[in-house]
Amino acid sequence: MKFFVDTADTQDIKALAKAGLIDGVTTNPTLIKKSGRDFRDVILEICALIDGPVSAEVTSLAADGMIKEGRTLAKLAPNVTVKLPLTVDGLAACRELSSSGIQTNVTLCFSANQALLAAKAGATFISPFVGRLDDIHIDGMSLIEDIRTIYDNYNLQTEILVASIRSPNHIKESALVGADVATAPPKVIWSLSEHPLTKSGLDTFMKDWAETGQAAV
């Protein structure tokens, strides 16, 4: 499974990329706002930091505006993926942009039917929001299972990009049901390496090594 980081903080992206932990980046208007920087400058910098897909979201609500924005965004860098909302206009824009060879990420997916429409529109990625479903007491991961089954039934090539991830458990469950990608905040990705038994074991090894009086090789 591929890991994308969900942030517009280029320092976090640099650190994760250096560690070899990420394959792409997702952004959205809220993350851009948090960065306090110009949208295009942020996207250009991120695209220079990582070779994988970098999702940049349109802000138009009408299909024509989305298509125009999408073509402009795609020209910023070859790894830009145009992020579109899962609306009728967003699906129309997805069809047009995808037909032109532009990568697309259809976002704000909350049902299997929506995911099926996105695949039919030629989306490169579909982004189901598991955390937001969990927030309203609907099992977000069951949606990923449904989408995986439907896509496999018809050999649909759209990649399932699990979004709104809140915990390491979301990532584990996404991997177990066969999601293609998980996008998560930096702190969640870093936390995947943590386990109390790993820490306690390492502490013991270091204590015992120190008692040997030997220097490091």
Chain segment 68-103, per-residue pLDDT in tens: 999 999 999 999 999 999 999 999 999 999 999 999
Task: State the pLDDT at residue 73.
Answer: 98
Domain contains 195? yes
pLDDT band of 136, cuts 50, 70, 90: very high
The reported pTM is 0.96
Domain contains 114? yes
Structural domains in the chain (count): 1
217 has pLDDT over 90: no
Domain contains 217? no
CA atoms within 13 A on the CB side of 179: 31
Q: What is the 3-state secondary structure (H, E, C) of the chain?
A: CEEEEECCCHHHHHHHHHCCCCCEEECCHHHHHHHCCCHHHHHHHHHHHCCCCEEEECCCCCHHHHHHHHHHHHCCCCCEEEEEECCHHHHHHHHHHHHCCCCEEEEEECCHHHHHHHHHCCCCEEEEEHHHHHHCCCCHHHHHHHHHHHHHHCCCCCEEEEECCCCHHHHHHHHHCCCCEEEECHHHHHHCCCCHHHHHHHHHHHHHHHHHCCCCC
User: What is the domain extent for residue 41?
Assistant: 2-212
Domain contains 40? yes
And the tokens for 46?
Answer: 């991120």
Domain with 89 in it: what CATH number?
Answer: 3.20.20.70
Dump pLDDT digits (tens) for 150-196.
999 999 999 999 999 999 999 999 999 999 999 999 999 999 999 99
Tell me the catalytic residues.
83
Task: State the pLDDT at residue 216.
Answer: 87
